[in-house]
Amino acid sequence: MGNMTDERTSQGELGQVKERVQDAAQSAKQQSREGLRTQIDTRTTEAGAQVSSTARAIRGASDQLRQQGDDRAASMIEAVAERGERLGSFLSGANGDSVLREAEDMARRQPMLVSVGGLMLGFLAARFLKATSAGRYSGSSSSFGTTPMQVPPPYAGAVPTAGGSGVIR
């Protein structure tokens, strides 16, 4: 009978440990979500300020074009500046949840646009990696194809002629 009591006590202790572990996991999950939201909020506010600043600079360029008499180009640039200002205002005032919601809604409305954008980003990333890989491996002489090609010295028996070509004897 004492064995049954010990077994119930150990099961009760295991249940308590299980609950503590679940509580700790839930708490860690909640903290990571809050941290992520805080990061997204901070980043979107910073991005909004930068986009707004860029839009103001673009608007200044539009004003200069207008002063120079190029109204057509000024109007086109003005439209870009206006969209930039709207985007900057949205990013500055938005929280992380609303930004993610907007991105998901756009992906649902225009999946082809998102797919093409993803392909373009992938292509640009590949080009960037390819362009920077030569610089990373230029110091290494053990990799194949990364050492500069060496030109052999002129032939010992070659005699220069008036045309600049050598004749081998």
Phi, psi of 113 (to 5 degrees): -60, -45
Residue 80 token pair:
């870009």
Q: Give the H or E element holding residue 122.
A: helix 111-137
Which residues have CB under 8 Å from 143's CB, separation 6+? 137
The share of the chain scoring above pLDDT 70, in percent, equals 73
Question: Tell me, what's the pLDDT at 148?
Answer: 55
Following DSSP, what letter does each residue of 14-55 receive, concatenated? HHHHHHHHHHHHHHHHHHHHHHHHHHHHHHHHHHHHHHHHHH
Whole-angstrom distance, CA of residue 45 vs CA of residue 52: 11
Mean pLDDT, the chain, integer: 78
- Least confident stretch, 5-19, 61-75, 89-103, 136-150: 136-150
Residue 39 token pair:
């990061």
Tell me: pLDDT of 9 over 70.
Answer: no
